A and B are shown apart, each in its own frame.
Chain A
Amino acid sequence: MWLFLARRIGLAVAIVAVAVTLLYSMIHAVPGDPASVILGPRATPEMREALRERLGLDRPFVVQIGSFFGGVLRGDLGTDIVRDRPVADIVFAQLPYTVVLVLASVGWAALVGIPLGCFSAVRRNSLADRIIGVLSVSFIAVPYFAVSIYALLIFSVGLRWFPSMGVGEPGDPLSQARHLVLPAFAVGLSWVGYIARMVRASMLEVLGDNHVRTARAFGLPERRIVFRYALPIAVLPTITILGVGVGYLISAAVFAEIVFSRPGIGSLLFESVGQRNYPVVMGAVLVTSVLFVVSTTLADLANALLDPRAREKL
């Protein structure tokens, strides 16, 4: 177990380093002077030069990236030039909003998708199975952006059931939950379909296994066979996929945060890329890369804890 964790941490560091270096290279390859963008049309050439110096853009690329990683090791992600504040403060202030949105999206998608997939497998080839199949594929096919817009127009503008923007009042969990409903719905909807399809396929496989056949031969009730002997096994691949899916959900959260005018890492990244605000882009990508690696590691660990075969390989 400890060896597994050490290996994963080593791998995580490598993944984050490669992701950040790639991004750093891409940012520098794109034309566009951050000093001009940040300072705007009023800036004099001297002011732009001073800002380039402050950002370290006048130094060789290798020195810049070395300096960035040095700062990361010291816990310093640099200073946001637009706001004159430490990048770490800004990124960590936004992070909880995105994490909550991603968890809520995954959570409801799993809560709905797993039973749907299970039901579909148990009622294989029935009308209900076919309807669920069509719905699942439809959910997968509809883009996050379209779901967000229509959810807003229907539930917020039309019915006024849920707010159209913001994250709710601090210290008021009900208000925060209400503000979370539509974004989480929009981000999680396609995952409902995805999970349902995956659980169905996995369940069908498990329901054909020998241990299920044996249980049936012993005359155990079907309900008990499904929930006690089939579903816990069928759901294991879903857990792994959910871990990886967190990375994709962070991308989806970008759309949701923009459409629902929510703060978060996604909207911060979107705004910062447009501004060529290098320090914030780098800080935000570093944190999301770490988040991605942590979620996949946790998924692997959960998988191992639930599956004795996988645990033996640790």
Chain B
Amino acid sequence: MQRTIQGTIQGFQPRLGRRGFMLSALVFGAAATAFPGRVLSQDGRVLRARLYNDVNRLDPAIYENAYNVEVMNLIYPKLVGYKPNAEGWEWQLEAAEAIEQLDDTRIRFKLREGLQWSGGFGEITADDVKYSYERVIDPEIDSPVKGDFGPLSHVEVEDRYSGVIVLNEPFSPLWTIALPYGVGHIVSKAAVEARGGGRFGMELTAFGGPFKVKEWRAGEVTILERNEAWTGEEPAFDEVRLYPIGDPQAGEIAFEAGDIDYTQPSPASLQRYRDDPPAGAVVEDFPALFYVWLGINLDHPKFEDLRVRQAVQNAIDVRLILEAAYFGAAPLATGLIPPGLVGYRPQTLVPPEGDPARARALLEEAGQVGLEVRLAVRNTATFSTAAQIIQAQLNDVGFRCEIDLYDSGVFWTLGSEAEGEQWRDLELVLNRFSSSADPYYATQWFTEAQVGIWNWERFRSERFDELHQAAVRETDQDRRGEMYRQMQDLMEESGAYRFITHEVNAILYRDFIEPAVRPDGVSLFNHFKRA
């Protein structure tokens, strides 16, 4: 053995000379450029798009995140869906031929006939609708998103295609966040029961939408191909490839390199793309549904005095934060609810530019000039920039502000009583929540029941709670809107909130695509067309 090895070493002769090396490099380089090896979409039959995270639960009862919904839109039917590219939050019929509100708690639907499941699971029927909706509220499933269906009681099946959705009490968000969104997707009862029922996560067997999942390579790509069982309008693409790319700037690079055709650029790049878009590319932006605000812990002794809280509110010029942290691309927020939704408040009580002189006077009056305060922020570039602006503005009126940066894991526990006593030390916090197409979704976190859970300002208002309950049941949208405006006034009057922005959603796409989006710019891939 030893001899063999030694013999091999002694017999070693280098075969790759200088010329050989250069030739190899030339051949390799030529091969690399001659055989691109990419999935090309020049023929426009393949849509390659960025998804901001990898799908993990394509089960409507437990979907949890928006990126799962973007794929579920392609593979499952819904009775109604968001109307693409509409000005406001309108819905349109999809799997339903007709749908009507019989009274405050009953909605009758009739499915279109002939819709089929893939995999030989037959026609899509009212039984599937009943099964899909009721499994969301099934205690066995223990759905994290059952709140989206609110007071759903059950679904009565009238015949093969018709049924009635029955609620325990009126629930206005049913039309905005239940039926057209995540929990509104219909799954095949036969297919789910064939695998034993319960949660099915990523183990998919039947598809009723225009596409079906061909392949899911975790962390790499989700490939969808046309569903041969689909009997609706022919999809514009043969294949949809969704690449999970967490960082928006990595998505921009992939777009510019020609590897994807549709992405969502960051606010930092938006102006650059507006000024100088890549050849054959189009950029658009939409007001998002997020809400970003500066919160003040009302139970912290430093902020007992309303004048100190009002000094914070008045010290902040929101416009400067938007300019520095969002590059001027994000719109001002006047509350929790963005423009276009019921309950949008046209203006804040404290003007966006603030009033530093008043802030100084309030702080002096309260005898708190030089008050040391701490601002908790997540350690992202946008938030740390915003925090530095806030710090400078607070210091300018007489506070002495320090910033504490946290990673997301720690940050999301700061105001939680379940995590111990650390909520007592929380003073100022720059926070951001996502939202949905109904104002109820935004206000639910600020009730007294949420104190110490997600209501980190520990804001308590009986009137707010009453309005929150009443607004969910109110079906007159004008009255409902007035309630939500009052609720946001109450929040601001408490001195615990300074609303900053709803952020912006931008899209960047090649001109052979005709994208379909919700009013907030979120993609509806199932309605994409070829230009």
- A interface vs B, CB < 8 Å? 30-34, 36-37, 39-43, 45, 47-48, 50, 82-85, 90, 93-94, 152-153, 156-157, 160-170, 172, 174-175, 178-179, 181, 227-228, 232, 258-259, 261-264, 267-268, 271, 273-276, 305-306, 308, 311
Contact = CB atoms under 8 A, between A and B. Distances in A.
A164 B251 CA distance: 9
A175 B37 contact: yes
A169 B221 CA distance: 10
Contacts of A308: 2, 6
B407 A274 contact: yes
A166 B243 contact: yes
Contacts of B38: 163, 175
A85 B5 CA distance: 46
A21 B418 CA distance: 26
Contacts of A84: 56-57, 199, 201-202
Contact of A32 (B244, B410, B434): B410
Nearest to B252: A157
A169 B410 contact: no
Interface stretch (B253-261, B286-294, B362-370, B397-405): B253-261
A161 B32 contact: yes
Nearest to B218: A93
A227 B409 contact: no
Contacts of B254: 164-165, 261
Nearest to A181: B32
Given A42-B145, A165-B245, A32 B409 contact: yes
A37 B406 CA distance: 14
A141 B243 CA distance: 33
B256 to A, nearest CB: 5
B419 A31 contact: yes
Chain B CB within 10 A, most for which of A90, A166, A232, A305: A166
Contacts of B35: 174, 178
B217 A263 contact: yes
A160 B412 contact: no
| Interface size bracket, B side | 35 or more
Contact of B142 (A30, A47, A90, A261): A47
A47 B142 CA distance: 8
B246 A271 contact: yes
A166 B259 contact: yes
Nearest to B1: A305
Interface string B1-36: 010011001101110000000000000000111011
A42 to B, nearest CB: 6
Given A84-B56, A153-B253, 18 more contacts: A32-B407, A33-B413, A42-B64, A42-B145, A85-B202, A94-B218, A160-B257, A160-B258, A161-B32, A166-B259, A167-B220, A174-B37, A179-B37, A181-B32, A228-B12, A264-B219, A271-B246, A274-B408
Q: DSSP majority for the B interface?
A: loop
Contacts of A37: 408-409, 412
B32 A48 contact: no
Contacts of A33: 412-413, 416, 418-419
Contact of B201 (A45, A85, A162, A261): A85
A46 to B, nearest CB: 9
Contacts of A259: 250
A30 B419 CA distance: 12
Contacts of B142: 47, 50
A32 B147 CA distance: 25
20 contacts: A32-B409, A37-B409, A41-B433, A47-B144, A84-B57, A84-B202, A90-B218, A93-B218, A152-B253, A152-B257, A163-B259, A170-B217, A174-B31, A228-B10, A232-B12, A258-B246, A261-B244, A263-B218, A263-B220, A274-B407
Contacts of B412: 32-33, 36-37
A156 B253 contact: yes
Contacts of B218: 83, 90, 93-94, 263
A267 B247 CA distance: 12
Chain B CB within 10 A, most for which of A39, A84, A164: A164
Contacts of A31: 410, 413, 419, 422
Nearest to A270: B246
A38 B413 CA distance: 12
B181 interface: no
Interface in B231-251: 243-247, 250
B469 to A, nearest CB: 18
B465 to A, nearest CB: 17
B502 to A, nearest CB: 17
B144 A227 contact: no
A261 B454 CA distance: 33
A43 B201 contact: no
Nearest to A84: B201
Chain A CB within 10 A, most for which of B65, B220, B244, B247: B220
A41 B445 contact: yes
A167 B418 CA distance: 42
Interface in B30-67: 31-33, 35-39, 56-57, 64-65
B56 A83 contact: yes
Nearest to A276: B409
Contacts of A43: 144
A166 B221 contact: yes
Contacts of B64: 40, 42
